[in-house]
């Protein structure tokens, strides 16, 4: 169930960021999820007739002025109204994970503006990381502009999810066993209400990008083209074209966090790394080990040859 909850939350944030523009079409500053006014809930039925409502009590999120979006769900905050059941959810359904994280990028300048009082139903897409898996996301949501500084997003229709599709049926089986229940529904309704408020705008001077340095590369660029398919969901190699992650155009030989029009995580911007063959190889193998706190959701490439080849491909395409 958790994966679907985060899918829905992700699409909601995308909907918000896509409509955070003033009436004249210019995008605004950053936005922050109002956790007190927001709610993410799901239901279950046990013994065929006993219905219950559960929720996550702690969710947070931000949308940057450039469309960079980060959302977190505190899995330890699941509230089923029974303490021991909350613990069992964490252990058996969420498998000990404490946080689900969404990272995405929205092209704010291409989104249509919404006047105060306007609303519409939209289809949205995103990418999510949960338990080491990358999930593509789609949903239909209702978006309303409450004021110049507030946007609300809700589910447009009742959304039902299946435990089998999410790979958590074994966890639900365990809950049944521990609670000595004859059955727990395997199709779950999910609803959400998210309120985002605009932050006070702050203008910060972007650091000057250092000059590229020469880098010695090994690897087969032609073979790297195939490997790069794993990167295309979030990155491009076109100058200035960002996705969920920054453009990789001429990234080889430059400093980490140096692109002025992309909002990096604080950890990446302060890492002090220079992307040479050695640092790129280490990062592509285990991103979160090299830069703890990176927004990059990809778990890493397992084969050394794939890493060398994709670096060669990125370098060749940047010429």
* 3-state per-residue secondary structure call for 62-100: EECCCCEEEEEEEHHHEECCCHHHHHHHHHHHCCCCCEE
215 - beta bridge partners?
none
Q: What's the Rg (C-alpha) of the chain?
A: 21
Close Cβ partners of 67 (under 8 Å, ≥ 6 residues apart): 17, 105, 106, 107, 108
Supply the pLDDT for residue 189: 82
Supply the pLDDT for residue 106: 52
pLDDT in tens, 18-77: 445 443 444 456 888 899 999 888 888 888 889 999 998 999 988 777 667 777 888 899
Helices of type H across 156-257: 163-166, 169-179, 221-227
Supply the pLDDT for residue 79: 94
Q: Which two tokens stand for residue 273?
A: 């790394």
Distance, CA of 45 to CA of 295 (rounded, Å): 36
pLDDT in tens, 53-64: 999 899 998 877
Supply the pLDDT for residue 54: 92
CB 54 within 8 A of CB 78: yes
Buried b (16+ CB within 10 A) or exposed e, 5-24: bbbbbbbbbbbbbbbbbeee
List the chain domain ranges: 2-198, 221-317
To the nearest 5 percent, what fractions of the chain are helix, strand and coil? 30, 30, 45
The domain 2-198: what is its CATH number?
2.40.128.110
Beta strands in the chain (DSSP E): 31-33, 39-46, 50-56, 59-63, 68-74, 78-79, 99-105, 119-130, 133-147, 150-155, 159-162, 187-198
Q: What are phi and psi of 132, to 5 degrees?
A: 80, 0
CB 316 within 8 A of CB 236: no
Supply the pLDDT for residue 2: 43
With tokens 């090299």, the residue in question is 290
Is this prediction's pTM over 0.85?
no
Supply the pLDDT for residue 82: 92
CB 264 within 8 A of CB 246: yes
Supply the pLDDT for residue 138: 67
Give, for all 319 residues of the chain, the pLDDT tens digit: 444 444 445 445 555 554 454 434 444 568 888 999 998 888 888 888 899 999 989 999 887 776 677 778 888 999 999 999 999 998 998 888 888 777 666 545 444 467 788 888 876 666 666 666 666 666 677 888 888 788 888 888 777 767 676 667 788 889 889 989 888 888 888 888 888 888 865 444 444 444 444 444 678 889 989 999 888 888 899 888 888 889 999 998 899 988 888 888 888 988 889 998 889 999 999 988 899 888 887 888 989 899 999 998 998 888 7
CB 202 within 8 A of CB 284: no
Distance, CA of 137 to CA of 130 (rounded, Å): 12
Q: Which two tokens stand for residue 81?
A: 């109204």
Give the CA count within 13 Å in the CB-facing half-sphere of 16.
38
Q: Which fold does the domain 221-317 belong to in CATH? A: Cytochrome Bc1 Complex; Chain D, domain 2 (1.10.760)
Distance, CA of 18 to CA of 118 (rounded, Å): 14
């Amino acid at each position: 169930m958790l994966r679907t909850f985060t899918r829905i939350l992700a699409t909601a944030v995308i909907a918000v960021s896509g409509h955070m523009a003033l009436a004249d079409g210019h995008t605004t500053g950053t936005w922050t999820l109002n956790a007190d006014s927001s709610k993410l809930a799901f239901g279950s039925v046990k013994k065929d007739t006993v219905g219950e409502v559960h929720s996550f009590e702690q969710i947070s999120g931000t949308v940057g002025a450039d469309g960079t979006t980060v959302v977190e769900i505190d899995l330890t905050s699941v509230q089923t109204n029974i303490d021991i059941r909350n613990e069992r959810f964490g252990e058996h359904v969420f498998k000990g994970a404490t946080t689900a994280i969404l990272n995405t990028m929205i092209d704010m300048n291409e989104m249509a503006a919404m006047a105060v009082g306007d609303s519409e139903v939209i289809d949205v897409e995103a990418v999510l990381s949960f338990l080491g898996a990358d999930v593509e996301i789609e949903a239909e949501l209702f978006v309303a502009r409450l004021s110049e500084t507030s946007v609300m997003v809700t589910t447009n229709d009742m959304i039902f999810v299946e435990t089998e599709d999410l790979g958590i049926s074994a966890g639900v089986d365990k809950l049944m066993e521990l609670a000595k229940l004859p059955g727990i529904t395997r199709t779950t309704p999910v609803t959400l209400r998210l309120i985002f408020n605009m932050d006070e705008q702050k203008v910060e001077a972007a650091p000057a990008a250092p000059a590229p340095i020469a880098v010695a590369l090994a690897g087969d660029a032609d073979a790297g083209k195939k490997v790069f398919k794993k990167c295309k969901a979030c990155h491009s190699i076109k100058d200035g074209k960002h996705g969920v992650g920054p453009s990789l155009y001429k990234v080889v030989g430059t400093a980490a966090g140096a692109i002025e029009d992309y909002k990096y995580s604080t950890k990446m911007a302060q890492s002090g790394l220079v992307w040479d063959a050695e640092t790129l190889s280490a990062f592509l193998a285990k991103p979160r080990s090299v830069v703890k706190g990176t927004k990059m959701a990809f778990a890493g490439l397992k084969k050394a040859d794939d890493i060398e080849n994709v670096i060669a491909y990125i370098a060749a395409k940047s010429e």
